[in-house]
Amino acid sequence: MSEREITLKKAFPHFSNELLHEIEAHSGFQIFKAGDVIMRTGQYIKSTLLILKGQLKIYREGYDGEEFLMYYLQPGQACAISLICSTKNQTSQITAKVVEDVEAVTVPLALMDKWMMNHRSWYEFVINTYRTRFEEVLEVIDNIAFRAMDERLEFYLKRHAKACDCKEINLSHQEIALELNTSREVVSRLLKKMEQRGLVNLHRNQIKLLF
């Protein structure tokens, strides 16, 4: 097993050795820096990414530049939406931005179709990716439809902390407001209330979770 196959195996332990060999032989390996936008709304998708290291943010963009966070991608994951768009030759309806420097494998469309038929481990990975992301998007929709803004903010912070596996969230109040589609003043006021309740410590462009 080559060094790259070993790296792949660490991120995707359920892939068969035969599949790992094909990925190593026929797919590309790329590095993206924090802040890079690697997928935009309206762009045709000819491949999908398998994340080896780092973190991506997947979100929808509004007409006025507002963002709607859908989910994060981490090592061992792929973007369900890019899988769907690439197989149907459709344009992307989302934007993907690098949060932490990313190392990824680019899998071309033709290989994805072939692997669905020839590799059980790839088939199960794709189906599980669809199911996991669908459940996560449903959770986000429920959060928007049925929760007040203070509950949405707490949900957002918990989700972000889980994605980065950390308790310190390095975001400004304006950035949070943009993703929650509200105003900076509302976010600041709610965060101050959370601090008074002993749930967070507030610092400049950083929020430390205490729950």
E-assigned strand segments in 62-205: 67-73, 95-108, 168-169, 200-203
Note the pLDDT of residue 75: 94
pLDDT band at 87 (very low <50, low <70, confident <90, very high): low
Query: 125-166: per-residue pLDDT in tens?
Result: 999 999 988 888 888 888 777 889 999 999 899 988 888 788
Task: Give the confidence band of 89 by pLDDT, cuts at 50, 70, 90.
Answer: low
What's the rounded Cα separation, in Å, for the pair 92 and 84? 9
Tens digit of each residue's pLDDT (9 = 90 or more) over 27-59: 889 999 999 999 888 888 778 889 999 999 988
170-183 pLDDT, tens digit per residue, is 989 998 998 888 89
Q: What phi and psi values does residue 132 have, to the nearest 5 degrees?
A: -65, -45
Query: Confidence class of residue 77 from pLDDT cuts 50, 70 and 90?
Result: very high
- The mean-pLDDT minimum among 19-23, 69-73, 97-101, 120-124 falls in 69-73
CA distance 159 to 179: 13
CA distance 164 to 139: 19
Q: For helices 120-146 and 80-88, give the axis angle rounded to 10 degrees.
A: 120
Encoded tokens for 173: 């109040």
Query: Which whole number is the average pLDDT over 119-124?
Result: 95
The pLDDT, as a whole number, for residue 190 is 96
pTM of the model: 0.75
Task: Please name each of the domains of the chain with its CATH number.
Answer: 3-144 (2.60.120.10), 148-209 (1.10.10.10)
pLDDT category of residue 85 using cuts at 50, 70 and 90: low
Tokens of 4: 């790259």
